């Protein structure tokens, strides 16, 4: 059994340790941003029945197990209270406030700028529960 030198095995070089530490730091620094799913599809309701979104839309199950869907070509996310909120285009949550904003236009995109604020195709609008629709059966 080899003796430990300076608290590590003799075959572990400083460059290997540095590389491992850099990799672990990079993995832990990945930002957490809520944005809508890239692959939307049908969602099962409480009874197990599939509920499908309109074309270009997506559905989610809220805190109460109710399935809500985005409008056609629109966006949907769960807010901080786990209630579904929707908009005309893709939605995203602002980094510091958690407020959800969506693109003003159908099929529009939403992203965060370097300050964590939402930026959207043709401008952003606040997401709302009223903009969500019931799934087609």
Per-residue pLDDT reduced to its tens digit, 75-88: 999 999 999 999 99
More confident residue, 18 or 131: 131
Q: What is the pLDDT of residues 15-29, one digit of tens each?
A: 554 445 444 444 343
Quote the CA–CA distance of 2 and 61 in Å, as a whole number: 57
In a domain, 82, yes or no: yes
Length of the chain: 137
Using alpha carbons, select from 42, 73, 68, 72 the residue that is nearest to residue 128. Answer: 68
The phi, psi pair for 21, rounded to 5°, reads -65, -40
Question: pLDDT value at position 21?
Answer: 44
What's the predicted TM-score (pTM) here?
A: 0.69
Number of compact structural domains in the chain: 1
Q: What percent of the chain has pLDDT over 70?
A: 70
Domain span at 122 = 43-131
In a domain, 94, yes or no: yes
In a domain, 16, yes or no: no
Q: What is the pLDDT of residues 36-88, one digit of tens each?
A: 444 458 899 889 889 999 999 999 999 999 999 999 999 999 999 999 999 99
In a domain, 12, yes or no: no
In a domain, 29, yes or no: no
In a domain, 24, yes or no: no
In a domain, 26, yes or no: no
Question: pLDDT value at position 77?
Answer: 96
In a domain, 51, yes or no: yes
Average pLDDT, the chain: 80
């Amino acid at each position: 059994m080899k003796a430990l030198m300076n608290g590590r095995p003799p075959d572990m070089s400083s460059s290997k340790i540095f590389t491992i530490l850099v990799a672990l730091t990079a993995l832990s620094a990945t930002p957490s941003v809520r944005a809508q799913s890239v692959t939307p599809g049908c969602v099962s309701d409480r009874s197990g029945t599939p509920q499908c979104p309109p074309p270009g839309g997506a559905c989610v199950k809220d805190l109460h197990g109710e399935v809500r869907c985005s409008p056609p070509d629109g966006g949907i996310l769960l807010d901080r209270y786990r209630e579904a909120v929707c908009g005309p285009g893709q939605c995203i949550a602002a980094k510091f406030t958690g407020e959800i904003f969506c693109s003003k236009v159908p099929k529009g995109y939403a992203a965060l700028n370097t300050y964590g604020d939402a930026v959207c195709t043709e401008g952003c609008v606040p997401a709302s529960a009223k903009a969500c629709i019931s799934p087609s059966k």
